[in-house]
Structure 1
Amino acid sequence: MFRIGEFSRIARVSGRLLRYYDSIGLLSPGRVDSVTGYRYYTADQLAVLNRILALKDLGLSLDEVAQLLKGMVSADEIRGMLTLKKVELERSLSEGQSRLRNIESRLLQIEEQGGMQDYEVIVKSAVAQPYLALRRTFPSFMEVVQTVGAIAQRVGPRLPESAKDNLVVVAHSDFDEEALDLEIGYALKHGDVTPPNIPGFDLALRALPAAPSLATLVRRGPGHQSHIAYGALGLWMSANQYRIDGPSREVLLELPFQRPGQEEMVMEVQFPVTKAA
């Protein structure tokens, strides 16, 4: 048996916590010396303590932990619960990192006071093009990024180089982080292409309509900073008395996700415009 100090070193918890668990009847010592009052723990109690700590890390209250222990939760059940919690924490961490990047890029935009940076806005026209794409309403921007990456990696290589043009994202709705109505796919140099049968990708031959007048600019940088370019283009349209006249487009001039950890992309932001009255 181990005295409480020895057991605390083995279990990597404080003696104070062990005494507290004893006081509430959650984990009592294997034996208490009637003369000295010293608490002694057995090696078998380490498994019980680990169950308590694991269940507590799942967010359960100590009362809930006690009830589960009375029902003798198996190691497999706890392992399954911990696995689910791990997935939840990883998702939360990823979302937190995404929010942090967004905050940093918004701060950058504020520091630039919404200026044009080195952007050069070009007004041009575009002819109609065949378009092999899928259209979905995405519940989060993260899913959009994942889908763009999947199409670049799984669809692009299945298309003949003689027909494939740039990867294009078309926004059919106002920006809503929880309901993004987007078309994502490849513009084509000609329409004589059979859509590849790829599970999970409901690809269809569509059309990118002609645009008599597009206000465009090219940006290089991380995807989460794209709003800076959009803001700059909005300032330019306002200053030059243009109004938006259709769904915006992002044309990926250099594909993202081509190497591990790659965040930078080169894209052209396009807004169909017409002169304001």
Structure 2
Amino acid sequence: MLKIGDFSKLARISIRMLRHYDEIGLLKPQDIDQVTGYRYYGEDQLPMASRITSLKEMGFGLAVIGDIVRNYNNPNELARFLEIKQSEVHQELQETNRRVRLLETAIERLRKDENSMNYNVTLKKVPERYVASVRDVIPAYNQEGILWNQLMTETSGYHLENEANCLCFAVFHDEGFKENDVDVEIQITAKGTYEDTEHVKFKTVPEVEIASAIYKGSYEQILEVNQAVANWVNDNGYEFNGSLFCIYHVSPGQTQNPDELVTEVCYPVRLKS
């Protein structure tokens, strides 16, 4: 039997943490002296202590570790826990990489031009347009490709004749920003008239007055662009008047290089009464 101090040194777990493991039932001492209250551990408990430490290093919380160690001799169940954690870590890694890219992009823009984060906002009218449109609730904004695939698939036999200045739009119909289940409509301008398909609707969209800003590069700049438009709208006596939409002048369908993307952020507006 080992005193708690000796076990702590061998297991490389602090005495404070061993007491916590005891309190939550994760790793209880084999014996407690009823007079002194000293805790004693068996040498055969060192492998369990090592497992707990390894699982903590993998990112598991103590509550889940308790479930894992109870099933440690079941390889299939253990593999299931590890695969779930692996998936979570991959998602965290993707989010970390996204943040690194945001930082790199912001630093690079500032190095090129300290005023590069200022965006020019213009007031103009988008003329009436005839479009092929698909609108649906999709899991997230970055899955807009679902709608474009539907449009292209269902109109593949139509041989759509595009306007000379063919434009692609994405309209965001939700009242506010949403983390998931977003109401998005995509549109592409077309010439002529066509019959609707299961998901594709052909319609005429009326003229609309907008405050807009065009930017080049990745979509990570959108918050700064929105701020520029919001400031312009407030400073010039306008108010928002409809759903935000974007015009993709150079879209992901045309380039895989995010630095080459060209997007126009458009907010319908009207003069304050």
TM-score category (smaller protein): 0.5 to 0.7
Identify the residue that residue 216 of structure 2 maps to in structure 1: 220
Identify the residue that residue 39 of structure 1 maps to in structure 2: none
Is the CA contact 2:195–2:202 (under 8 Å) kept in the aligned structure 1?
Answer: no
Is the CA contact 1:55–1:78 (under 8 Å) kept in the aligned structure 2?
Answer: no
Give the SS at the match of 1:224. helix
Is the CA contact 1:114–1:231 (under 8 Å) kept in the aligned structure 2?
Answer: no
Could you say if the C-alpha distance between residues 119 and 156 of structure 1 is closer, same or farther in structure 2, counting changes exceeding 3 Å? farther
* Cα displacement (A) at 1:252: 0.8
Identify the residue that residue 68 of structure 1 maps to in structure 2: 71
Give me the CA root mean square deviation: 4.3
Is the CA contact 2:247–2:265 (under 8 Å) kept in the aligned structure 1?
Answer: yes
Identify the residue that residue 246 of structure 1 maps to in structure 2: 242
Give the SS at the match of 2:226. helix
Give the SS at the match of 1:25. helix
Give the SS at the match of 1:121. strand
Is the CA contact 2:138–2:144 (under 8 Å) kept in the aligned structure 1?
Answer: no
* Cα displacement (A) at 1:190: 3.8
* Cα displacement (A) at 1:214: 2.0
Normalised to the residue count of structure 2, the TM-score between the two structures is: 0.63
Give the SS at the match of 1:246. coil
Point out the more displaced range, 215-224 or 123-132: 123-132
CA distance in 1 between counterparts of 2:60 and 2:270 reads: 55
Could you say if the C-alpha distance between residues 178 and 208 of structure 1 is closer, same or farther in structure 2, counting changes exceeding 3 Å? farther
CA distance in 2 between counterparts of 1:125 and 1:257 reads: 23
Give 5+ residue unaligned stretches, structure 1.
Answer: 1-14, 29-48, 198-202
Pick 1 or 2: higher relative contact order, CA cutoff 8 A, min separation 6.
1
Give 5+ residue unaligned stretches, structure 2.
Answer: 1-8, 15-40
CA distance in 1 between counterparts of 2:109 and 2:58 reads: 39
Show the 5 A alignment for 1:1-277: 16-17=10-11, 23=43, 25-27=45-47, 53=54, 57=58, 59=60, 61=62, 63-69=66-72, 72-74=73-75, 76-99=76-99, 117=118, 119-136=120-137, 138=139, 143-145=140-142, 147-152=143-148, 155-156=151-152, 159=156, 160-163=159-162, 165-178=166-179, 181-190=182-191, 192-193=193-194, 203-205=199-201, 207=203, 209-256=205-252, 258=254, 262=258, 264-277=260-273
CA distance in 2 between counterparts of 1:125 and 1:251 reads: 10
Could you say if the C-alpha distance between residues 118 and 270 of structure 1 is closer, same or farther in structure 2, counting changes exceeding 3 Å? closer
Could you say if the C-alpha distance between residues 273 and 130 of structure 1 is closer, same or farther in structure 2, counting changes exceeding 3 Å? same
Cα distance per residue 1:67-90 (max 9 Å; x no partner): 223xx212x333333222211111
Q: Which amino acid aligns with 1:82?
A: L
* Cα displacement (A) at 1:211: 2.9
CA distance in 1 between counterparts of 2:189 and 2:257 reads: 28
Identity, in percent, stands at 15
Q: Which amino acid aligns with 1:162?
A: E
CA distance in 2 between counterparts of 1:213 and 1:259 reads: 29
Is the CA contact 1:114–1:232 (under 8 Å) kept in the aligned structure 2?
Answer: no
Could you say if the C-alpha distance between residues 132 and 51 of structure 1 is closer, same or farther in structure 2, counting changes exceeding 3 Å? same
